[in-house]
Amino acid sequence: MTDAWKIPAKHPTCDGCEADLAPGQLVTTVLSFEAEGPQRRDLCDTCWQAVEKADDVIYWRRTRSESDASKRRVVDYAMLRDVFARLVDQDAPAYRRLAYLVGLVLVRKRFLRLQGFEARDGREVMVVRRRAGDPSIEVPAPFLTAEDIVETREHLMRLLDADLGEGDLPDLEEITPPEVLEEAAAEAELGDARAEEAGDTKA
């Protein structure tokens, strides 16, 4: 699904007029959340002024710096918390994986408080709060493979145009509740047994 998402790699031109974005120039990044996936646009100030502002769009402004491949692009965790609030309202599987991973990153960085994991209609949900006394937020806990984590991490880094280090992300066992891991292992074992049975039948 990565290619369907309109999350461009960092590039030196405006996504509106395609003019060069020079070092020292003010750039506005616009994030919107569509059914087919998130979209990110980097705009010059002229194109940003022409954009129709909407309540469900997240944007931030920055001054473009000199390119430096050796410098790590820092994550704005306060802004990431706003992105998380939009992600949890989306229902597509890829959004759910992204919301869950972002939620755990924010818990690890203490921008969200983890209340625990609870069962809802036969599935695990992660319950978090922004701060003590705030309403709880429930995030479905999908089963994530190691490959899912890598792919979702890449989605997030492209979406934010920022780097997430290994220490920013929890381990697979930390991401997935034990009950979900056990259920997935049981399903995999059942699938292997069925495949073996089907093979014996054909033989």
pLDDT per residue, tens digit, the chain (203 aa), is 444 555 655 667 898 999 988 888 888 888 888 877 788 888 998 998 888 777 778 888 888 776 544 455 667 888 888 889 888 988 888 788 888 888 888 888 888 988 888 888 878 888 999 888 889 999 988 877 777 777 777 777 777 777 666 566 655 555 555 554 455 445 556 655 666 666 655 55
- What pLDDT is recorded for position 184? 45
- What pLDDT is recorded for position 109? 83
- What pLDDT is recorded for position 195? 61
Distant-in-sequence, close-in-space partners of 108: CB < 8 Å, separation ≥ 6: 168, 169, 170
Q: Where are the domains of the chain?
A: 1-71, 75-203
Quote the CA–CA distance of 154 and 7 in Å, as a whole number. 10
Strand 26-34 versus strand 37-44 pairing type: antiparallel
Residue 33 CB neighbour total at 10 angstroms? 17
- What pLDDT is recorded for position 17? 93
- Report whether 98 contacts 155 (CB < 8 A): yes
